[in-house]
Chain A
């Protein structure tokens, strides 16, 4: 009995002095963890704070969660938290920031059309700094979906009218983008159908073009040798499947290579365009 009483007293005194971590303390801990290398703990803690704090630290938690998810390459979740922040933000400024961040996340996922929809949801009477940002993002999204005329309309006003050289360079890059986008997978496939490797050369992939032409030549020589050594019926039965495999593969890959190379080059052109747009106005 005495032992039980003693145990009870010890327990009650311990419970009295022990207190759980408060939401504010958790938030401080999350902030501290966000500065470390491994941010997974910060992510969990911010989620806990968001759940228990109600509206108090809501905006900070949502913005931090968006940032942490973006850091982990989970852009979809980051966009989700930007969206929540947009819904809950008290000021227009924070709301627009959230929307532009979400747009950035969508662009990182190559979802340019969704980004355009988000940007078009902004009010028409935006104050000046936001207008420029909207134009920049809209231009990028239009460029992403290969709408170069619209991208030109959005981006050109971002270069000062006095900057003649910059504008000329911008026009040259836009023309280059239009030229690159005109490359057609159909033409590449047709060229590879006529001459193996030609489609790859058309796409600008010299290594794959040489590879394809050599491989097909090798198969052709094998076919002729087998035909001469045995009969052409036997050559057709043994070598023809291999020829069709690599000849057909070359045709199919030529189309795919055009798309890949086109995307690569357009990205390079857009990087240069951004450099032009990013130059400070005189």
Chain B
């Protein structure tokens, strides 16, 4: 909205005073050099937001803890999308504790990049697609 007003005022006003121009230019440059806001971790992973029971609440918390303190320091990238941690949370949420944990262990055992021919490639992220399924 700010930018629209700025450009409208740039382009539609005919004769502007030098000082007025300067203020608008400064507003434009402030916008261009504004700090890039980083979204909160919980907001990045919408799956952690909706927790109808305590179990899901605990798993969402564990997931966020892992993402904050371990994943940020990790040197490796998961071969799949969704990543193993996201897959684990989604599996527990969708399939329940037992099936979810079994699926997660299955996924962890497959996360080695040795059999890319078995999966579709996510062209955007350049990783293998492996959604939660039973």
Chain A: residues with CB nearer than 8 A to chain B?
Answer: 60, 63-64, 66-68, 70-71, 78, 85, 93-94, 97-98, 100-101, 104, 107-108, 128-129, 132-133, 136-137, 140, 144, 208, 211-212, 215, 244-246, 248-250, 252-253, 264, 267-268, 270-271, 274, 277-278, 280
Contact = CB atoms under 8 A, between A and B. Distances in A.
Interface in B39-74: 69-70, 72-74
B30 A274 contact: yes
A96 B9 CA distance: 14
B21 A70 contact: no
Size category of the binding interface on chain B? 35 or more
Contacts of A67: 3-4, 7-8, 11
Contacts, number: 112
Contacts of A140: 29, 32-33
Contacts of A85: 11
B98 interface: no
Nearest to A265: B35
B115 interface: no
A270 B33 contact: yes
Interface of B: 1, 3-4, 6-8, 10-12, 14-16, 18-19, 21-23, 25-26, 28-36, 69-70, 72-76
B34 A129 contact: no
B26 A278 contact: yes
A145 B76 CA distance: 31
B73 A274 contact: no
Given A108-B31, A274-B29, A101 B22 contact: no
